[in-house]
Chain A
Amino acid sequence: MTDIAEAFAAAFSLVYHLDSDLGEIVLLSLQVSVGAVAVASAVGLPLGAAVALFRFPGRGAIVVILNALMGLPPVVVGLVVYLVLSRAGPLGVLGLLFTPTAMVIAQVLLVTPIIAALARQVIEDLWVEYEEQLRSLGATPRRALMALLWDGRVSLLTAVLAGFGRAIAEVGAVMIVGGNIDHVTRVMTTAIALEVSKGDLALALGLGIVLVALSIAVSAAAALLRGTLAQGRPR
């Protein structure tokens, strides 16, 4: 019990004193995860919609693989990205290892399947509803895809949030490719892991409380955005 009380005290003290290190860590966490989710959405949403709308050989297998990749272990993704970005690896010359860019790359790989798989389900359900209408209007597949993505934007926002949740909470991938370097690649989750390894459980839990508060803030912001988006809907 004392540990938990200490953790809340640590969390309040961190926030109350507007600890500049904490601010830096929070900002980097948001930059990396928001950046990764933006890229993953740009790839995953059209990809999911395309798999939902188009019929082609091997489509069933792709659906299964997309769903399975939602459970990709972050450590494995981190390891693969490390091997690719390492100086001894194929893209080593770029010198991206232990930079925030490397962390974004790893999180994009983790998050894209989640957004694509959830988007596929949303668009497939909408397609059942609107197929006849879109066909009778003579919409090209491309226009149909764009129309459905727009129409499903409220549900798709949930898919994007699920991706963000994964990105902001994972520690395995960013730890390996970022290296948890103070002031360079230290984010909320790796800072928590470090405090656990130092044995400072109260500070670790305090950081955890700040992370949860951050997640709640993002989710509240999304609710506000959803309200705005929903008003533009035809129905």
Chain B
Amino acid sequence: MRLPGRSRGRVFRLFTALALALLFAVPGALAGDFITVASTTSTQNAGLFDHLLPLFEAETGIEVRVVAVGTGQALRLARNGDADLLLVHDRPSEEAFVAEGYGSARFDLMYNDFVVVGPASDPAGIAGMGDAAAALAGIAAVEAPFVSRGDDSGTHRRERARWAAAGVDPTGASGTWYREAGQGMGATLNTATMMEAYTLADRGTWLSMRGRLDLRILVEGDAQLRNQYGVTLVSPERHPHVKAALARRFAEWLISPGGQAAIDGFTIDGERLFIPNAN
């Protein structure tokens, strides 16, 4: 690529100018008041934050930055002081977080439920069962493929609790019929479709994705499958830098009638994904 002498200098100057313009371009978001929320992939994948955050920001001008990871990792982020607020779904560990002094308060926020989904062929014959542990025992008995989140998320913790209730330790079969994906809920549901396998899913992600999946709900309605989400404030006594006041405003908005109505109004195809239940 040969250019005449004059334009050579011009090309060089153009590149320098472009590079400088790029580096100093105004970033999309100017940092005003913001808080960092450690939350779960299930709430993000369902699209809840895209629905709630614009409402809160319009009302208060506070920007909410969501880091969506598994519940286990979210708890670790908050424990290290890397988030101002926790929005996760594993009540025992949230309460332990507060008891150990990392959190200053925890509030119930909303719930939905987990469902056992699987292929229409249902090789373990669990369709219509009301007891998740018994259904899992049935899957283990015929060694039908089951995809586990395998990522220490809230969903994974619940799945392990139900296996324990069934008296089955599936990890011994890991790699055979029990397959640990180590991925988020959406990717795990996709994997289950590909493998014609069973999996445990939260209803929110299930509803937001079911049109693209070749799976159906086989077990639901077990009281043990209730999926309670809570919001926990990170304690400023443990981590003085956390934005406790701003985080509290967001938490209080979420559990206020306005925030609860916003959660209530979040639907996909007319179905409500989360049922608000703050006290």
Q: Do A and B belong to a common assembly?
A: yes
Interface size class for chain B? 35 or more
Whether B224 sits at the interface, judged by CB under 8 Å, is: no
Which listed residue, A93, A98, A223, touches B82 by the CB 8 Å rule?
Answer: A98
Task: Give Cα A108 to B213, complex, Å.
Answer: 40
- Select the stretch in A11-19, A130-138, A180-188 that faces chain B: A180-188
Q: Which residues of A contact B270 (CB under 8 A)?
A: none
- Chain B residue with the shortest CB-CB distance to A197: B184
Chain A's nearest CB lies how many Å from the CB of B191?
A: 10
A180 and B3 in contact, given A86-B82, A197-B41, A225-B15 (Cβ under 8 angstroms): no
List residues 35-74 of chain A with CB under 8 A from any CB of chain B.
Answer: 35, 38
A87 and B2 in contact, given A31-B23, A197-B186 (Cβ under 8 angstroms): no
Whether B19 sits at the interface, judged by CB under 8 Å, is: yes
Chain A's nearest CB lies how many Å from the CB of B156?
A: 15
- Chain B residue with the shortest CB-CB distance to A199: B186
A231 and B183 in contact, given A27-B25, A27-B28, A31-B23 (Cβ under 8 angstroms): no
Find out whether the CB atom of B209 lies under 8 angstroms from the CB atom of A199. Answer: yes
A199 and B190 in contact, given A180-B68, A184-B29 (Cβ under 8 angstroms): yes
Find out whether the CB atom of B22 lies under 8 angstroms from the CB atom of A86. Answer: no
Whether B150 sits at the interface, judged by CB under 8 Å, is: no
Q: Which residues of A contact B66 (CB under 8 A)?
A: 181-182
- Chain B residue with the shortest CB-CB distance to A181: B65
Chain A's nearest CB lies how many Å from the CB of B211?
A: 10
Contact pattern, B 19-40, Cβ under 8 Å of A = 1, otherwise 0: 1001101011100000010000
Q: Which residues of B contact A228 (CB under 8 A)?
A: 3, 8, 11-12
Which listed residue, A28, A221, A227, touches B3 by the CB 8 Å rule?
Answer: A227
Whether B45 sits at the interface, judged by CB under 8 Å, is: yes
A31 and B25 in contact, given A198-B186, A224-B11 (Cβ under 8 angstroms): yes
Find out whether the CB atom of B209 lies under 8 angstroms from the CB atom of A180. Answer: no
- Chain A residue with the shortest CB-CB distance to B209: A199
Task: Give Cα A176 to B81, complex, Å.
Answer: 15
Contact pattern, B 188-212, Cβ under 8 Å of A = 1, otherwise 0: 0110000000000000000011001
Chain B's nearest CB lies how many Å from the CB of A226?
A: 7
Whether A24 sits at the interface, judged by CB under 8 Å, is: yes
Contact pattern, A 157-186, Cβ under 8 Å of B = 1, otherwise 0: 000000000000000000000011111100
Which listed residue, B1, B8, B22, B209, touches A30 by the CB 8 Å rule?
Answer: B22
Chain A's nearest CB lies how many Å from the CB of B12?
A: 6
A34 and B23 in contact, given A87-B80, A197-B186 (Cβ under 8 angstroms): yes
Q: Which residues of A contact B190 (CB under 8 A)?
A: 199, 201
**Selected A-B contacts with CB under 8 Å, 18 pairs:** A31-B22, A35-B23, A87-B82, A87-B239, A88-B79, A93-B241, A97-B82, A98-B67, A179-B65, A181-B67, A182-B65, A182-B66, A197-B185, A198-B186, A198-B208, A199-B212, A225-B15, A231-B2
Give the A-binding residues of B (Cβ under 8 A): 1-3, 5, 8, 11-12, 15, 19, 22-23, 25, 27-29, 36, 41, 44-45, 49, 65-68, 79-82, 183-187, 189-190, 208-209, 212-213, 239, 241
